[in-house]
């Protein structure tokens, strides 16, 4: 039962429980054991289960679960917090998410943050709950059916009337004494594991509280789940800022960090990371990451050439790049395949590149300290290099910038950072024209001799 006196009996994480697929299993179990009830239609003479969500961190995850519930024929109540530090109900995008949840058929609840106020009495609580309920009705055109306390303390749980402000009190005395309770607070089953509760079916009446933020596509620790929610929203906010300026044809003043935009569209996740590193002045990490992208771009261009121009099977290309016996970098490969140094193709000074290569080596091995201002210049240099190589690649017969996924030019490939190619079993080396097979073997022999 609900009580601040309850002490956690179970502190194991059981991260495998908190996946969308497992959530679907829980819904199916719940339907087989109880009558699914809502806070407006509880029949106290029958066995029932209430399915409730306190939305603490993520409306986006709430919508994901809401869709799964409707697919499984379950109606839930989503308790949203007008004072949340993690989402804004009046923000257009977030507001739309709540409306979608309601359109699916779910009920609206108020997640009431009593700590926001200095509550003087139960009458005062009654007034405040009614006021916030009215705010939600104004926002969404739907009257909340119930309210739950956000992070309740003993003084809040002492308010045990069945209703306040015209809303059902999820922490009323009746719920505390007559309805069993199971919650995933803090990202783990603090008292009883929900699967076991549903499987054993020892409770005639049950109120299940889950927080959508914890439920992800794959298992991960609770803090990582929250990280994804919080930083996902931060990234979306920055994206909205950039898109807003672009849609109004306004200049986006980003300073030298604007150089990163070369791969914003082709590698958005990497762009977000590098943008964060630049704006937090983490230039050592940023420089090494840009250098890695620089070499990866060279390798992807070489892969594209091998597949498109020489028609080498994917299995052969993958074996070449994965081989421990061939330790050759992307710059040398570029020269071997295209017959020109990349610096000459892109009009860069070889000595300057060697100097920055030395800096990268020092950073990787932590051999010396380099001034942030110098590293920032290096980051600008690398972005310019990546841009020039991309421009050069687009002029080639395969029209490829080396940044986008290899699938963008019609090469079937794995979605991996290194652009691994998928093998086509009908694509065999011994079926190629003899001159191409000979050319490939000579190329491998040449590289092997020079290693």
- Residue 201, classified by CB atoms within 10 Å of its CB into exposed (0-12), middle (13-18) or buried (19+), is middle
Q: How far is CA 9 from CA 6, 191, 225, 321, in A?
A: 9, 5, 23, 52
Domain at 15-218: CATH code: 3.20.20.370
> Bridge partners of 147?
110, 169
Domain boundaries in the chain?
15-218, 254-450
Q: At residue 336, does pLDDT exceed 50?
A: yes
- Pairing between strand 167-169 and 146-149? parallel
Average pLDDT of 36-47? 94
- Pairing between strand 180-183 and 48-54? unpaired
The pLDDT assigned to 4 comes to: 46
Q: List, for residues 387-427, the tens digit of each pLDDT value.
A: 999 999 999 998 999 999 888 888 765 555 445 555 443 46
Q: At residue 345, does pLDDT exceed 80?
A: yes
Residue with the larger pLDDT of the pair 148 and 235: 148
Average pLDDT of 115-143? 96
Q: How confident is the model at residue 429 (pLDDT cuts 50, 70, 90)?
A: confident
- The H or E element containing residue 373 is helix 372-394
Contact of 384 with 280, CB cutoff 8 Å: no
∠ CA 167-1-169, rounded to 5°? 5
Q: What is the DSSP letter of 102?
A: H
The pLDDT assigned to 37 comes to: 96
The pLDDT assigned to 332 comes to: 85
Q: Both ends of the chain: CA-CA distance in Å?
A: 70
Q: At residue 82, does pLDDT exceed 90?
A: yes
Alpha carbon 270 to its chain centroid, in Å, reads 13
Q: Report residue 44 as tokens.
A: 């106290």
Q: At residue 5, does pLDDT exceed 70?
A: no
How far is the C-alpha of 201 from the C-alpha of 428, rounded, in Å?
58
Calculate the average pLDDT of the chain: 90
Q: List, for residues 436-448, the tens digit of each pLDDT value.
A: 888 888 888 888 7
Contact of 268 with 274, CB cutoff 8 Å: no
For 304-337, letters b (16+ CB in 10 Å) and e give bbbbbebebbbbbbbebbeeeeeebebbebbeeb
Q: List, for residues 185-227, the tens digit of each pLDDT value.
A: 889 997 899 999 999 999 999 999 999 999 999 999 999 999 9
Most confident segment among 77-81, 296-300, 328-332:
77-81
Q: At residue 274, does pLDDT exceed 80?
A: yes
Average pLDDT of 304-324? 85
Q: How confident is the model at residue 15 (pLDDT cuts 50, 70, 90)?
A: confident
The pLDDT assigned to 85 comes to: 94
Q: At residue 276, does pLDDT exceed 80?
A: yes
Q: At residue 53, does pLDDT exceed 50?
A: yes
The pLDDT assigned to 451 comes to: 62
Average pLDDT of 363-378? 90
The pLDDT assigned to 423 comes to: 43
Q: List, for residues 219-269, the tens digit of each pLDDT value.
A: 999 999 999 989 988 988 999 999 999 999 999 999 999 999 999 999 998
CA-derived radius of gyration, the chain: 29
**108-117, 147-156, 223-232, 315-324: the lowest-pLDDT one:** 315-324
How far is the C-alpha of 97 from the C-alpha of 294, rounded, in Å?
39
Q: At residue 321, does pLDDT exceed 80?
A: yes
The pLDDT assigned to 70 comes to: 97
The pLDDT assigned to 146 comes to: 98
Contact of 38 with 63, CB cutoff 8 Å: no
């Amino acid at each position: 039962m609900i009580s601040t006196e309850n002490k956690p009996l179970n502190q194991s994480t059981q991260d495998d429980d908190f996946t969308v697929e497992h959530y679907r299993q829980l819904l199916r179990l719940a339907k087989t054991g109880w009558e699914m009830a809502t806070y407006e239609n509880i029949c106290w003479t029958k066995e029932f289960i209430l399915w409730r969500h306190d939305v603490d961190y993520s409306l986006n995850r709430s919508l994901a679960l809401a869709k799964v519930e409707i697919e499984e024929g379950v109606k839930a109540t989503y308790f949203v917090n007008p004072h949340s530090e993690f989402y804004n109900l009046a923000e257009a995008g977030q507001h739309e998410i709540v409306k979608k949840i309601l359109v699916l058929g779910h009920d609206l609840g108020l997640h009431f943050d009593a700590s926001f106020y200095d509550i003087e009495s139960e009458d005062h609580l009654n007034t405040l709950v009614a006021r916030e309920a009215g705010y939600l009705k104004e926002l969404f055109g739907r009257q909340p059916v119930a309210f739950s306390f956000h992070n309740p303390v003993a003084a809040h749980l002492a308010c045990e009337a069945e209703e306040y402000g015209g809303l059902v009190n999820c922490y009323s005395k009746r719920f505390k004494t007559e309805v069993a309770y199971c919650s995933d607070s803090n990202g783990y089953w603090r008292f009883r594991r929900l699967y076991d509760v549903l499987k054993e079916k020892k409770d005639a009446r049950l109120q299940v509280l889950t927080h959508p933020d914890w439920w992800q596509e794959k298992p991960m620790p609770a803090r990582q789940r929250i990280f994804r929610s919080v930083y996902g929203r931060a990234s979306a906010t920055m994206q909205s800022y950039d898109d807003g300026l672009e849609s109004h044809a306004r200049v986006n003043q980003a300073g030298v960090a604007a150089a990163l935009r070369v791969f914003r569209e082709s590698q958005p996740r990497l762009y977000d990371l590098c943008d964060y590193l630049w704006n937090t002045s983490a230039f050592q990490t940023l420089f090494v990451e840009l250098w890695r992208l620089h070499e990866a771009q060279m390798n992807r261009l070489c892969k594209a050439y091998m597949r498109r121009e020489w028609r080498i099977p994917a299995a052969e290309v993958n074996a070449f790049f994965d081989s421990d016996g061939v330790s050759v970098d992307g710059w040398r490969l570029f020269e071997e395949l295209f017959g020109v140094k990349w610096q000459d193709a892109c009009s860069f000074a070889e000595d300057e590149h060697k100097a920055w290569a030395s800096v990268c080596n020092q950073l990787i091995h932590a051999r010396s300290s380099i001034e942030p201002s110098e590293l920032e210049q290096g980051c600008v240099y690398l972005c310019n290099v990546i841009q020039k190589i991309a421009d050069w690649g687009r002029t080639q017969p395969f029209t490829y910038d080396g940044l986008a996924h290899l699938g963008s030019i019609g090469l079937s490939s794995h979605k991996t950072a290194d652009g691994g190619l998928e093998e086509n079993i009908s694509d065999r080396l011994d079926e190629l024209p003899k001159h191409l097979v000979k050319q490939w073997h000579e190329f491998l022999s040449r590289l092997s001799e020079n290693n």
